[in-house]
Each structure stands twice: as C-alpha cells, then as structure tokens.
Structure 1
Amino acid sequence: MAKQRTLDALFGQSSEPDAKKPRLQKEEDDEVEADEHIDANAAEKTAESVVKNVVSEPSWKSGSPIQYATLVETFSKVEATTKRLDILQYVTDLFVKVIAHCRKTSMECASENLLYTVYMCINRLCPDYEGLELGIGEGLLVKAIAQSTGREVIRIKKELEKQGDLGLVALASRKHQPTMFQAQKLTVPSVFKQLKEIARATGAKSQDKKLGIIKRLLAACVGEESKYLIRSLEGKLRIGLAEKTVLVAVAHAVILTSLGAKASKTDKDELASILESGTNIVKAVFSELPSYNVLIPALLEHGVEGLRDRVKLTPGIPLKPMLAKPTKEIGEVLDRFENRSFTCEYKYDGERAQIHGYIDEQGQQVICVFSRNSEDMSKKYPDLVVQTPHCLGQGVTSFVLDAEAVAWQPLHIAQAERADATDGRLLPFQELSRRKRKDVKAEDIKVSVKIFAFDLLYLNGEPLLNQPLDERRTKLKQHFVPVADEFDYAIHRDCQTTEEIQTFLDESVASGCEGLMVKMLEGPDATYEPSRRSINWLKLKKDYLSGTGDSLDLTVIGGYYGKGKRTNVYGAYLLACYDENSETYQSICKIGTGFSEADLDAHYATLKPLELTQKKGYYDVGDAKPDVYFEPRVVWEVLTADLSLSPVYTAAKSMIDARGISLRFPRFLRIRDDKVPEQSTAPEQIAQMYRAQAVASKKQRGRDDEDDFW
C-alpha cells in the first residue's frame, strides 16, 4: 500500500484515501513519502555512476576557470531528456568536475566557479533579496543578434514568429555568419560577470552599454553557446532544470569530491545512504538561509558535516516562509488536531512581511522588510522601517518577525468618521495595493500600514525555529510591545469545538479579515518549517467554505478583445499556472467575471504595454486561442467553483490523465503584487486540488444516496 501511494504521488494517479487517516494527513504523508522515494533513488543513481566511474575528465585545463562550452554541453544533455534522475546525474557530474579541477588552484577558485555555475543553472545573478535583474527586452536582443550577425532585424523577427524561440533564431543566425577570426573562448566566470554588468547598467546610455556587451558575447559564441546565452538573457533557459534539482546536485557533488577516491571503493548502498543523509542536511540548512553566496563557500570549506554549525538563520537574509494547507471544512480541522493543542489566529487581508532587525558593523540598528518571495520591501514600506523600533522591548538587539502588513485606518481618522470609534480599522488589501512599490517617500504615503506579528523566528542571536509555537509566542509577547496604529499581535483564540471555531471565524470576517489560520500549538509538530506547506498550519477562509478549498494565483498570458460595453478594453483573459520543471506557463482557463468597469480599464492600462507580437516559446496553451499574448508579468488571485478535466487547456496535463485541468466559473479576486509569475500555483498543486475535490464529491454522493433512500 505504501509503495502504491508513492507511485500515485509520483505519477499523478488517484487512489482511494486511507479510511483510518484524515485526508490532509494522508496528502502530507504521500508528499513526504514521494520526496523521500525520489531522493533515495537519486542517491542510488549517483552512487551507481560513481562505482562505474562515469564522471569523465573535463575538457578544460586543470585549475583554470570552467569553460562556458562545458556548461552548454550539460544544458544540451538536460534539454534532451525528461528523466529527472538523469538530469540530476548530468548536473552532479558537472559540479564534480568544477570542484575537483578548480580547487587545484585554490579553494577560492573552486568556490567562485561553482557559485557562478550554480547561478547560471538556475538563471539568476544573486539571491532574491538583492533584487538584481537583467531587465532586457526582446527588442534589444533582436537588435543585438542582427548587428552581431549582419542580418536584417525584419528577417530575424519573421524567423522568431516561426520558431517562437529567440535562442534558436540566434543559433541559426550564427551558423550563417562567416568567421573572420577565432575569439577567445568564453568561460562561466566571464559570462556571469558580464551578465551582472548588464544588470547594473543604468543611466541615459545604459541601453547602448547593454547592447555592446551582448554583441561581444555573441561574437565569442561557438556552437550552441549562442542559443543558451540568448535564453539566459531572456530569463528562460527552458531546459527543464528545476532549482531543487540543482541544490541536490550541489550536495551530491560536494560529498563525492570530499570522499575522493574512496567514493568508487565504497559499497553502493552505503554511498547512497551517505548521499541521501547529506542532501537532507543541505536542504534543511538552505531552507533557513537560502543564499548560495553563503552556502557554497561553507560547503567547500567545511563539508556537509560542519554545515549546521556555520550556516544558520541570520538577520538580513530572508528565509522562505512556512505556508499553510487550505481546508474548507471545520470538521477537517478537528480531525487533523484531534487530541492535540492548537490555536486559531485571524488571517489578515494584507501582505506577508518578514521583518529583520540587527546591529551592523558600525553599531547602527538596521531594519529590513521582506516579502513572502524574499523581495526587499524596505523602500516600499519606509514607514515600517521607522515604526518597528518603537515596539522593541528592552534588550532586543536582533530579531526576525513573521507578520502581516495590513492597510490601516488610524484612530483619529476613524473617530472623525464615527464618534464611537475606540480603535483604528482594518482596510482591505486593495487599499494596500494602491501604494507605490519603489522610491516611496514618507510625505507621499496616503495609506497607513499596521503590523500584526504572529511569530518570532530569531531573537538576540538565537534561532527559534525548532521551538514550539507556544514558546515562540510567549517570547514574542515578552520582547515586543503593542503600539497604537503601528504594531500589535495577531488576534488569536485557543478553540476546542466546531462551534467555537465557527464563532471565531465569523468574528474575524466581521473585523475585515479573510478567515482563520489554525496552527499546532505544542509539541514536536509545532515547530516552524521554512519553505514548506505543512498540515501543521491550516488556512480556513470564508471563500473556501463553499468552494474548491483554495484560491489560485495565476499569471495573465493572453487577452480576448471585448464586445459591447467592453469594446475598448479586453473582455476576457487567458490565465496560466507555472511549471518550474519545464519552465513553461500552462493554460488553465479563460476568465471574464469578477471585474468592475474600473477593473477592466485598469487591467487594460497595465496589460496593453505588455502585448507581444507572437506567443512565447514557453507558453503551453493547448487549443486556447487568445487574440493577443502578454509578457508574463501580472499575477491574479482567482477563485473557482470547481475544477474539471479539459481537452483545451494544459494545466497539470498527464498528471490525472491525458487531458489538462481547467477552472469552472473562475472569478477574479485581486492582483497579487507580492508574487512574481514564477510563484504562480504549480501544476502539482492543481492536480492535488482536483484529487481532493474528487474525494469530497465521492463522499457527498454517498450522503446524497442515503438521503434519496429515505
């Protein structure tokens, strides 16, 4: 049965739930079991490759920087397969070569080359919180290809319409270009540093500078290098290499190079066990401190064994937040937390804010505010940076708070509206979204923000992640004090019955909140689990109670021209989920409801500048045919009546059967400014929602049959 559940989780097949387990518990077990199964297989595959000595010698000189051609060779192998274990093996082999042959020069050389190679594999330039992006439009890349190959822009654009992939167009253009002289071979460090130079270029002539760098890089490309270079510049490699695979490959490579010659002499099962154990350590540490800048040097210098002691949660570097599982029945809450201590908190209608405080090297207090996707929001919320020190208790020098930033009507304004007002008032998320995202000045702020803290993750040099919630909450109240209109604790109540939960849910909605968060309060399951959607936290929203159990965050990739009253705007939109494994946007529905006339005008103004001349190569739309396509920039939160299998749309295709999954009666809720398109709901989540719905409907049919009998 356990093996069958693992296979179901891996291949998207539905199976009957274990009658002895609550549905949420079973889903969690399936996910964990599937992950463990994959990790074990990955470790075994790597161990087999070591025993067979399949890690070949590199084509570049020992001790010198890794050649870009070597990276491109790995990209080509990865793109040619869909097998996850094979992909992992190719990337592990690459990292082993980089470490083993660069460390002959110095540990610093190995660290630099591995770091740059990892960033090139995940197509990033730095940790998320640094916010450095290339910011290159398609037009500039077309111009660079034209000028570096001597072809006409119009011919390149026509070829792009046919191919849908600018990387392939660049490759074809280079093949027809006569070579006057042999340029110096590209290396990964040189390419990476020039990409950073492009991202940092600002000012009046920044476009010319970017164009010049791209042309130089293209001129030095050989073979398929131009294809992957252009894709890197576009921000989409599209080879099916997920970051979680890269992280596992880093762990495997470091362990194998530390073992050296012993690796091939170690028993295969023993080596697989070592790899699996080490990988779990690396994944756990990275979830607390998600920075390759810190992780990779520490791994190479101290190995996996010394990682936990040297890489820990650190103020100033945001960790990936813990997330909650959705639930739509209060009964499910009681099933999950039966005979366990749990607490209910208001689920505020705001923006997740991770607030860090520490003393810098100059002895100055630093306050940083990060979003749920690790974006530095300190400039968006300068008022929070000023307000936060007001709530600090005596002796607090460093901390990390998990909180919600909520639009707030201060007391003096509330009293002007209502003479009986004794406190300020929560405002909806739409008010918060009116604030500017960049270069916000205190005097320009029209929407006040109040912080509601619900967790304390770090205090005065001590990480608190492994302490139960009741202890973390106690320390939060001991060391932080409420400040009117600025800071307070999330309102909570320890409920025991369905009636108590329902009453508290009604109170939260009446106060302007979305619903409740239900959390394990005591014991080993009440710890904070970074980057994990855990059943130890459940979210119970008012909209869920009669719906599918969760809203979805989807990217707008297409539009349909409006008719009648909507003639001058888009009348409907094509939405998509994001598959990080294939790096594609998969169509899921056409949406035209939930919009006011003001909404339609605002969406048109936002999306019109994002119109494309043709569909992106990484848009998997199936039989959907929008009138126009957009750049993937805008994320919407959408609610649906239910999910159905569809021959038209491609979301989660082949996870249930050959068809994709679509939303029935989707309704627009709000814009998700706090999410980037790559954080859209994943196909795996959509498939899971569909299965959960199928189980629920089966139960409902059983009840209906009983009613019909009587």
Structure 2
Amino acid sequence: MKFAKLAQYFQQLESTASRNQMTEILVDLLKEAGKDEVDKICYLSLGRLAPLYAGIEFNLAEKLMIRVVARAFGAKEETVKKEYKKTGDLGEVAEKLKTKSPSLKPSILQVYERLYEVATESGEGSVERKIDKMAKLLNGLNSLSVKYVVRIPLGKLRLGFSDLTILDALSFMVARDKSKRQEIEEAFNVRADIGQITKVVKEKGLKGLKGIKASLGTPIMSALCQRLPNTEEMIKKMGRVAVEPKYDGTRLQIHVVGSKQVSIFTRNLENVTHMFPDIVEALSKEIKARQVILDGEAIGFDPKTGKFLPFQETIKRKRKYEISEKAKEIPLKYFAFDVLFKEGKDLLGLPFNKRREILEKTLFSTSKTIILSPQIVTENPNELRRYHDEQIKKGLEGVVVKKWQAPYDPGRRGYTWVKFKQERGKKGGGLADTLDCVVMGYYKGRGKRAGFGIGAFLVGVRESKSSDQFLTISKIGTGLTDEQWREMYSRCQVSGVRCQAKPKEYIVAKGLIPDVWCQPEIVVEIEADNITKSPIHTAKYALRFPRLVRFRDDKSPEEATTLKEAEKLYRLQK
C-alpha cells in the first residue's frame, strides 16, 4: 500500500469522533493492508514505530522539527515558528508549506524504514543527520502525508484511539462483530504487541492465537486486583487464599533472558531496565534460574534505618539522568510475588500454589535485594484481618488476597486477586479504595490561585475496560497543597499534554468545559469521602470532598479506574 493511501485513512479516522465509525475504518484498513505491512500500520496509526516496550524514540523535539520543516520546504525557521504558534499543529503548518507534488509515491514500508533510520541514528553528528533525513523524507511525500509524518516524531499523531480499538477492529474483521474480542484480547494480554497480534490474525486467523505463549523480552499485562468489602466476603468468594503485604512501591516485571541479559518493564509496558542498575546487578547473584519472568514490587528504603520509603520517594528512581547517584540515595528491595515463566516453560496456566513452589525454589532465602514476598495461607477471615492489621502497623498499604489455586490472569481484574486496604464495617460504609483518574483539563485560577495559573481541574474515569473514552467524575478545586497546585499546572503545560481542542476520547457536559484541555496523559490517584449520583457529570457519579493523593506516573490512562469500578465503589460504601 502507498503511504498516501494510509494518510487518507488517517484523515478519515481524525475526522470522526464516533467509536463505531473508527472501528469500521480500521477494519477496512486492516483488510486492505498486506501481511508484510499490517504490523507497521498498527504502530504508525498509534504514532509509534514499535511497541512501547521497545523504547524506540525519535528524540526530535519541537525546535528540531521546526528546523526539519523549514529545511524541507525552503522556509525561514521564524516563519514556521510563527505559523506553529498560531495553529498549535506543526503538521498542518508543514501541509500548507508543501506545495509541489512528489514525482514518486513511496510505499508504507519505504516511509516506515526511513522513519526507523531517523529514530535509530546515534553518535556524533546524529542530530544533524536526523534533521537532514527527515527533511528529505518530507520532500518526497504529498501534502496530506506530510501532515501526519510530521506529527509522529512529536508524539502528536493522536487519531483518538489506542490498542483497544484495534482489538475491536480485529474481531469485526474475522467475525463481523465483537464476539471474538475477548479471545483476541487474551492473546494480547499475554504478548502485549498489537502489531504482532494483528499480523498473526491477518496471516493465520484466530487459530494462530492458540500458539501465543509467554515470551522472554515481551511484557505480559499485569494481573490486577478487584475489590470486596470485607474479609468474610473474600473468603466466601475465594475460598482458600494466600495473603501478602501490599507494598506502596512500583510494580516491575523482570525478564531474565540469560546470564547477562535482563529486561525490566513497568505495568504500562515501558522498558526501564537502565533505571534500575542495582536490581540488574542483584539478579546476577540472587536468583537460581537462567531464564525467568518475575512479577513483583520494588520499594525504596532508608539505608540508615531500613524503613520503607513512601511512594513519592520510590518513584524518584524512575529517571533518565543521575541514575547511579539516585540508586545510592534511594536503594530498593524487590519483593517477588509471582513467577510467570521459567527455563522455557510458560507458567501462566499453573495454579498459584504451584507457581509459588517454583518461585520459592528460584530465590535465595538470604538475598538482600531480590526477596520472596512473605505470605500466609488461610481460609479464616479473622486470621486474614489480623494479618492485614499487622501490615498497616508496619506502615504498609494493607494486603493483597490471592486465590490459592487460580492461574495467573494477565490484564484482568478478576476475583483471583483482591486488594484489602481498609475495612469500614461488614458491608462497606465508605469508599473501599481510591480512584485512578485521568486529568482532562483545568480551569484558570482566581485570587491566590491566579499565581498558580490553575484554580481547579477536571478528572475522568474510563467508560469501560475495552473503551478509549473517558467520562467526567469530578471537578477538583480543593484538597491540594500549594506545591501540588504548582506541579499540576506544570504537568499540564508539557508539550503533548496541553491541547487547543477537546480530545476525541472525552465526553464532557457543556457546563464543565475547562479553560484548557489536556490530552489523556496525566493519571492521578484521588481519595474522596464518598461517591454520589450526579446529573452534571457524564459518568453519572461524582466524588464528594475529593483530594489529590499523588500523581501516578507508573500508570497509563488505559489503567485508569473504569465506570464499572466506580459504580462498585458506590455500592460498597452503603
């Protein structure tokens, strides 16, 4: 397929806000695509060149892309900058500057290969080579293609959908409805590479997904926790359970491929191996396996007292610079609580009690960094509650309760894992948990807040676990410190976050339109006294006395609380 044709599909996708229409357009695109290019089309449509965990970045900031556009079309940089300031879309600026039609029409694969070359340029003089190659690429494209190609390195393609909509499209492609969505998503949860999953379905149909197993180097979507109101309900629903401390750290999935090859992924599929050299070093001494995938939580501790540090301190380890210095300042312990793969064997289908046996044989009891997460096994709600209270006294969040004989459930909030952070009476009596919300936009400040540039912000929850859309649930104007207000404003100003028009993913009532929109990028943990029904918010619920607990840089918008989960919290409080 020619890239010009793909650009036409992108234009169709950009011009509709209807999820059904988007899915139909994607179905047509995937049907027309060749088997050798369909994976690349998936990545490009999401504004990437590879899965997120591959870590391929262009490193071409706005200033450099302005130089690219100016060089490609013989314009002055000041002119490009001025037009960009007016429109807020460098792609549109480049499209207008592109007046000559190219003599050749490059294919999708040719454009992809050129973009890949640009992204992987490195070494001395690489910036200039990137600019030159990018300018030459733009020169050989038609104006519509130029618009979308310019947006990709800036991370601003934003056609209004994610991997989830592509999963819908694959189901429609093979079955003409959503009936195969769950089957396709289950394969994606085990191998979180939308390009590869699409390629398999295109080449072999659904039967090709039967062979999808856990694979070293490709992250598995993390199992997630459900909520139940109290220990009696947990034992009644789950039977015999393992109970483990809930650490307030950062979830990490570790892939050990060989004696010297390690990959570490966050729960939102980011490769952060280089950020944790202390964990990488410990793995060479503290595990009994050549090949293994571990699931666990890393938490910082004070080297003087040995006490665990709060999440805000642990998350400081997630950085691109001064990594060694921070590793000494905030050392980590990694509590391994599951094993998903070992020595060539996929362990996801094994019951937890069997996986635990394998995990115990994989770790040394004397290890200082890679530590087996402690647990008790019980069928007694009182014993479960006592263990929970002990963890609270130690300064931890609570416990995670796991069905003793359940398989690992990638990417799902089933009742195989339940978190127990607090208990308010036998049937609830308050919010059983906090909510992870997406910041949708903000309102300008007045009075004292005028100095912060922000007076309130709008947050939303996901419409459903299979949806890309967000519904409003709270306008938050209190419950933040001065420092938090400044940080919120600062985060909202980042290029790629602040935007001029309402993102297509948002459903917002007229009376709640913010002064400034934000792309779905910032995830915040919100605590509230309770949830009430609301005629104003599109979620039909509102948070009462909401307050910001923290920014969740470890979570993606796809991991935000869903409407169904918010409804469950509403019911549990009664």
TM-score bracket for this pair, using the shorter chain length: 0.7 to 0.9
Helix, strand or coil: the match of 1:409?
A: coil
* Match among 449, 453, 474 for residue 357 of structure 2: 474
Which residue in 1 is equivalent to 2:10? 75
Cα distance change, pair 404–155 in 1 and its aligned pair in 2 (3 A): closer
As a proportion of its length, which structure holds more helix? 1
Instruction: Establish whether residue 354 from structure 1 lines up as the match of residue 354 from structure 2.
Output: no
Give the whole-Å Cα distance in 2 for the aligned partners of 1:587 and 1:166. 30
Instruction: Establish whether residue 425 from structure 1 lines up as the match of residue 307 from structure 2.
Output: yes
C-alpha displacement at 1:465, in angstroms? Answer: 0.5
* Match among 183, 186, 189 for residue 287 of structure 1: 189
Give the whole-Å Cα distance in 1 for the aligned partners of 2:521 and 2:342. 37
Q: CA RMSD in A?
A: 3.9
* Match among 503, 508, 511 for residue 391 of structure 2: 508
Give the whole-Å Cα distance in 1 for the aligned partners of 2:42 and 2:324. 39
C-alpha displacement at 1:671, in angstroms? Answer: 2.5
Give the whole-Å Cα distance in 2 for the aligned partners of 1:389 and 1:217. 44
Give the whole-Å Cα distance in 2 for the aligned partners of 1:518 and 1:365. 34
The worse-fitting range, judged by mean Cα deviation, of 126-135 and 207-216 is 207-216
Give the whole-Å Cα distance in 2 for the aligned partners of 1:630 and 1:589. 15
Give the whole-Å Cα distance in 1 for the aligned partners of 2:18 and 2:333. 48
Give the whole-Å Cα distance in 2 for the aligned partners of 1:244 and 1:297. 16
C-alpha displacement at 1:628, in angstroms? Answer: 5.9
Which residue in 2 is equivalent to 1:674? 554
- 8 Å CA contact 1:572–1:590 kept in 2: the answer is no
Which residue in 2 is equivalent to 1:326? 227
C-alpha displacement at 1:380, in angstroms? Answer: 1.1
C-alpha displacement at 1:407, in angstroms? Answer: 1.2
Share of identical aligned residues, percent? 26
* Match among 115, 124, 137 for residue 48 of structure 2: 124
Q: Which amino acid aligns with 1:688?
A: K
Instruction: Establish whether residue 459 from structure 1 lines up as the match of residue 325 from structure 2.
Output: no
Alignment of 1:466-545 (within 5 A): 466-522=349-405, 526-542=406-422
Count of matched residue positions in the alignment of Structure 1 and Structure 2 = 561
* Match among 518, 522, 526 for residue 638 of structure 1: 526
Which residue in 2 is equivalent to 1:591? 476
Give the whole-Å Cα distance in 2 for the aligned partners of 1:154 and 1:236. 17
Partner deviation per Cα, 1:577-612 (whole Å, 9 max, x = no partner):
476999677665443544445555666666666698
Partner deviation per Cα, 1:98-122 (whole Å, 9 max, x = no partner):
33xxxxxxxxxx42x2221121223
Helix, strand or coil: the match of 2:33?
A: helix
* Match among 210, 213, 227 for residue 312 of structure 1: 213
Which residue in 1 is equivalent to 2:435? 551
Partner deviation per Cα, 1:302-352 (whole Å, 9 max, x = no partner):
66435534x421222211111112344444424432xx2222221111110
Partner deviation per Cα, 1:439-463 (whole Å, 9 max, x = no partner):
5554652111111111111111111
Instruction: Establish whether residue 344 from structure 1 lines up as the match of residue 243 from structure 2.
Output: yes
Partner deviation per Cα, 1:493-527 (whole Å, 9 max, x = no partner):
234344333222211111121112122112xxx11
Which residue in 2 is equivalent to 1:618? 503
- 8 Å CA contact 2:245–2:374 kept in 1: the answer is yes
Helix, strand or coil: the match of 1:425?
A: coil
Give the whole-Å Cα distance in 2 for the aligned partners of 1:499 and 1:92. 53
Give the whole-Å Cα distance in 1 for the aligned partners of 2:496 and 2:179. 46
Give the whole-Å Cα distance in 1 for the aligned partners of 2:420 and 2:270. 26
C-alpha displacement at 1:468, in angstroms? Answer: 0.8
The runs of 5 or more residues in structure 1 that have no matched partner are 1-65, 100-109, 256-270, 415-423, 701-710
Q: Which amino acid aligns with 1:95?
A: L
Instruction: Establish whether residue 114 from structure 1 lines up as the match of residue 13 from structure 2.
Output: no
Helix, strand or coil: the match of 1:390?
A: helix
Partner deviation per Cα, 1:19-43 (whole Å, 9 max, x = no partner):
xxxxxxxxxxxxxxxxxxxxxxxxx
The runs of 5 or more residues in structure 2 that have no matched partner are none
Give the whole-Å Cα distance in 1 for the aligned partners of 2:422 and 2:186. 34
Which residue in 1 is equivalent to 2:149? 229
Helix, strand or coil: the match of 2:261?
A: strand
* Match among 263, 283, 301 for residue 388 of structure 1: 283
Q: Which amino acid aligns with 2:372?
A: Y
C-alpha displacement at 1:485, in angstroms? Answer: 3.5
Give the whole-Å Cα distance in 1 for the aligned partners of 2:570 and 2:271. 40
Give the whole-Å Cα distance in 2 for the aligned partners of 1:517 and 1:183. 62
Partner deviation per Cα, 1:254-292 (whole Å, 9 max, x = no partner):
x6xxxxxxxxxxxxxxx779x966x66543333212235
Give the whole-Å Cα distance in 2 for the aligned partners of 1:451 and 1:233. 35
Give the whole-Å Cα distance in 2 for the aligned partners of 1:452 and 1:207. 41
Cα distance change, pair 448–592 in 1 and its aligned pair in 2 (3 A): farther
Give the whole-Å Cα distance in 1 for the aligned partners of 2:176 and 2:450. 62
Give the whole-Å Cα distance in 2 for the aligned partners of 1:79 and 1:324. 35
Give the whole-Å Cα distance in 1 for the aligned partners of 2:172 and 2:416. 30
